[in-house]
Structure 1
């Protein structure tokens, strides 16, 4: 689970860099939607890990 969390965090970071460099409304909307999806998945994994007694954050 920790590996999945780390992967999601890296992917979010990479997409944030792409969003900074992106131009065009369609591209920005697409990246924003992808970032939102990844953040929701990360939040779900963090809650699951916490409920299993794992470390928070």
Structure 2
């Protein structure tokens, strides 16, 4: 049962990170300016790395 909970938790976090990526992407499209674009770009890179790690973890939990 613990594996099922872990899998559900990972999938929930994956969904949350994907939503954050969507929001940051929308912000990046709406904003302009070097500092803002760099900050949003860095945040996107962090979220994409987190998503990749979560997806690796969900494959191991399956």
Structure 2 length as normaliser, TM-score? 0.82
How many residue pairs match? The answer is 53
Unaligned runs of 5+ in 1: none
Residues in 2 aligned to 1:44 and 1:3: alpha-carbon distance in whole angstroms = 14
2: CA distance, partners of 1:51 / 1:6 = 17
Answer with 1 or 2: which has the greater Rg: 2
The structure 1 segments of at least 4 consecutive aligned residues displaced by more than 3 Å after TM superposition are none
Provide structure 2 residue ranges, at least 5 long, that are not aligned to the other structure: 1-9
Higher relative contact order (CA 8 A, sep 6+): 2
Q: Which has the higher helix share?
A: 2
Q: Does 1:37 pair with 2:46?
A: yes
CA distance in 2, matches of 1:38, 1:12: 6
How big is the alpha-carbon RMSD for the aligned residues of Structure 1 and Structure 2? 0.6
Name 1:24's counterpart in structure 2.
Answer: 33
Aligned to 2:3: none
